[in-house]
Structure 1
Amino acid sequence: MPADDGREPAGLMAPQDYARSRAAFWGGAAVLFTDTEGKVLVLDPAYRPGKLLLPGGGVDQPELPSDAAVREVAEELGLSVRVHQLLAVDWVSKANPEYGTVCGFPGETVSIWDGGVLEESDIARIRLPENEITSFHFLPPTQAARRMRPIERRRMLAALRARIDRAGPAVLEDGETIGLGQALQRLDVVPRTAIGYQDIAWHPAMEPAAGLPVKQAWVWAFDPLGRVVVLVDPRDGHVVLPGGTVETDDDGPKAAALREAAEEAALRLHDAAYLGYLLDPDGAVYGPGTGANARARYIARIDSLGPTAPDVATGITYSRLLVSPAQASELLGLGRAGAEQAEYAARTAAARWGIPLSPPQAAIEIPHTGMAALLP
């Protein structure tokens, strides 16, 4: 049809009818910030007491969502920031029951942006607007989630997983991940902030002092590409390294770590080597009355992973992931000391065995049937 022909093509809707048929949605934008320990920044709004929110708000008529995110952070926190990356998009339907009765609500698309890690100097500059935000908190993800509305809880956790996974934005509808999603989303992984571990000292390559008991031992188990195995606890979505308590019949901490790796994750390992230890000076992490103790860390190479099975000690069947050491540290929630430990483990494995340093990448779920021949 010629460009200047004003006739409507047969079978197509008139422009005004087509316009009326399209969905009309509001826009919202929020920003995910964490501190150096991995705690999430949440706000206590005066207009919704007791239900915490990520910083953010509505997208105005002339705005792009990223611009709205930056503006809302300036208004609610007094901080001038750039948003680094889109982490999640949620398409909220008009009839969503979790939104209740909102005047004129036509549905909404909410984007969650990565604001990065706030240092102490950044936090000191936060200024809250009067009569709108009563307080702000940095909370472990699990605690923050408990104090949010369900849809906002799911959205926050999806954004946090996407930040760690580096596999692109999470896509949600009414707060629920669409399709199978990435492994962290599919398994409902909840990144931790390991209370107590943030302040205990990491001693690389050092043996515990004489008389200091080693209560637990864990292993950084490497595949040939430099990724490590972590386990997902189905009860709470938390991630742990293979390993556990040193029992009286174990032939030392290394044997305990290898035994636990086999029992929890069906991991066959070799070339296990001592890496260092964490000092728990008063036993607060392990349990009241324990006293000073050490937590040993080892590295090893993976021969194979057998089929998943319940842990003989707990009856729990863990899901298993391959992630980079840096991502393992983020999921474990051990703070800067954990990041140093992860980097030391990766560099030690590279020096000992020529294993490459693995960049952060999408987490890989290990099949329930297992994986063989992981050695090059």
Structure 2
Amino acid sequence: MPQLTDKAVSEESRPDETGPDETRPDRAGTWMTPEAYGASRAALWTGAVVLVTDPDGRVLVQSVDYRSDRLLPGGAVDAGEAPCAAAARELREELGVDGRYPRGLAVDWIPADTPGFPPGMRFPGEILFVYDGGTWTPDRIDSVRLPDQEVTGIQFAEPADLPALMDAGDARRALSALRARVNGSGTALLEDGRPTVPTALDRLGVLRTRRIPQHGAWHAGPVPARLPVRDHAGWLFAPDGRVLLLIARASGAAHLPPPSAGPTTGAVPLGYRYGDQGAHVRTAARLTALPPATDPAYARLLATPEQVRELSDWGPAGADELAAVHTARTRLCLPAPTRTPPTELPDPGTRW
């Protein structure tokens, strides 16, 4: 930042306007008047939006009467207003819901040449804060009351559907913020919706395709012999309590691995969910090693059980399965893992 002076500094004490004053060691450096410095600074708009999900991991978007695409709830930060206060005010005005949203998910720099702004608006660029609105219960969703003007409706959208519903930059920002929430590592810095330091979830484009719904009821224990088995997946634990997760590189889809993904100990039948086409069986076990990757179509990550659930569409029974997973983890004498960004494992594998 340049050092500031004022008009009281005389020409005699500043003989060279273009460089430092060699006659005044205490004034060495780049000098600007407050007026010149203020004029040199970039002027940007400031906005605040809130990312809200329902219990199935779908994102709240709203329809407005002044544009055809959907938006996250939120809007402009007023002069002298803190961004998190603006977020709370906007949700109160737009949805009739009171709340506080102190946790930031992302801060996005939107360039001045972004398409879609009318020339007469003279859009200077914007810094937009994305706050975490959390997961809303059905009762909280039912409490939404729309204003007489501006907001005409709300819906909860599958994350992969956001690019079809929203402006391209808005959709990138929403998905980046949602991945930042899953990562749990703090606020992501974005430029035009893209993370400046992409995580594994960003690099692999997780949530860009629709999650496969598995909404059958959860049943503990082995599958009865009379039921057909549709697939068999494993909750395979590393020593730190995280589990192995597969990400399809072509689609970004997240899958639990088969129980045979690596050598294990202590394998137990965890339970199953039953749908129209058969049982989805789950086994829990402790990984002792991970062999070299044999299928380049999949990336192998370690994630917490909660992150696996957030990247899946399991319906209300997902909470029951998650509880069973943690019971199995305790029986295997493994720690409860700390939420950190999912870690991509090396192709040569590893041994614990």
Match of 2:234 in 1: 219
After TM superposition, list the pairs within 5 Å mapping 1:27-38 onto structure 2: 27-38=46-57
After TM superposition, list the pairs within 5 Å mapping 1:202-213 onto structure 2: 202-205=218-221, 207-213=222-228
Is the Cα–Cα contact under 8 Å of residues 48 and 87 in structure 2 kept in the other structure? yes
Match of 1:373 in 2: 351
236, 260, 281: which is aligned to 1:296?
Answer: 281
Percent identity at matched positions?
38
- What is the TM-score normalised by the length of structure 2? 0.88
Match of 1:288 in 2: none
Distance 1:144 1:153 in 2: 6
- What is the TM-score normalised by the length of structure 1? 0.82
Higher mean alpha-carbon deviation, 221-230 vs 137-146, is at 137-146
After TM superposition, list the pairs within 5 Å mapping 1:66-77 onto structure 2: 66-77=84-95
Distance 1:359 1:102 in 2: 50
Q: Could you give the per-residue CA deviations for residues 192-228 of structure 1, whole angstroms, max 9, x where no partner exists?
A: 8746423x110112x3333211121000010001000
Q: CA deviation at 1:172?
A: 0.5
- Which runs of 5 or more residues in structure 1 are unaligned? 244-256, 262-266, 284-292, 311-315
Larger radius of gyration: 2
Distance 2:111 2:283 in 1: 49
User: 1:326 aligns to what SS in structure 2?
Assistant: helix
After TM superposition, list the pairs within 5 Å mapping 1:90-129 onto structure 2: 90-97=108-115, 99=117, 101=119, 103-129=121-147
Q: CA deviation at 1:169?
A: 1.0
Is the Cα–Cα contact under 8 Å of residues 172 and 178 in structure 1 kept in the other structure? yes
Q: CA deviation at 1:361?
A: 2.2
Higher mean alpha-carbon deviation, 150-159 vs 140-149, is at 140-149
Q: CA deviation at 1:175?
A: 1.4
Distance 2:120 2:329 in 1: 56
Would you say how many aligned residue pairs link Structure 1 and Structure 2? 332
Is the Cα–Cα contact under 8 Å of residues 84 and 102 in structure 2 kept in the other structure? no
Distance 1:298 1:103 in 2: 58
Distance 1:187 1:149 in 2: 22
Match of 1:272 in 2: 267
User: 1:137 aligns to what SS in structure 2?
Assistant: strand
Is the Cα–Cα contact under 8 Å of residues 192 and 331 in structure 1 kept in the other structure? no
After TM superposition, list the pairs within 5 Å mapping 1:56-95 onto structure 2: 56-95=74-113
The 1:15/1:325 distance shift into structure 2, 3 A limit, reads same
Q: CA deviation at 1:327?
A: 1.3
The 1:326/1:193 distance shift into structure 2, 3 A limit, reads farther
- Could you tell me which amino acid in structure 1 is paired with residue 217 of structure 2? A
Is the Cα–Cα contact under 8 Å of residues 7 and 33 in structure 2 kept in the other structure? no
- Alignment root-mean-square deviation, CA: 2.3
Match of 2:21 in 1: none
After TM superposition, list the pairs within 5 Å mapping 1:278-357 onto structure 2: 278-280=273-275, 282-283=276-277, 293-310=278-295, 317-351=297-331, 353-357=332-336
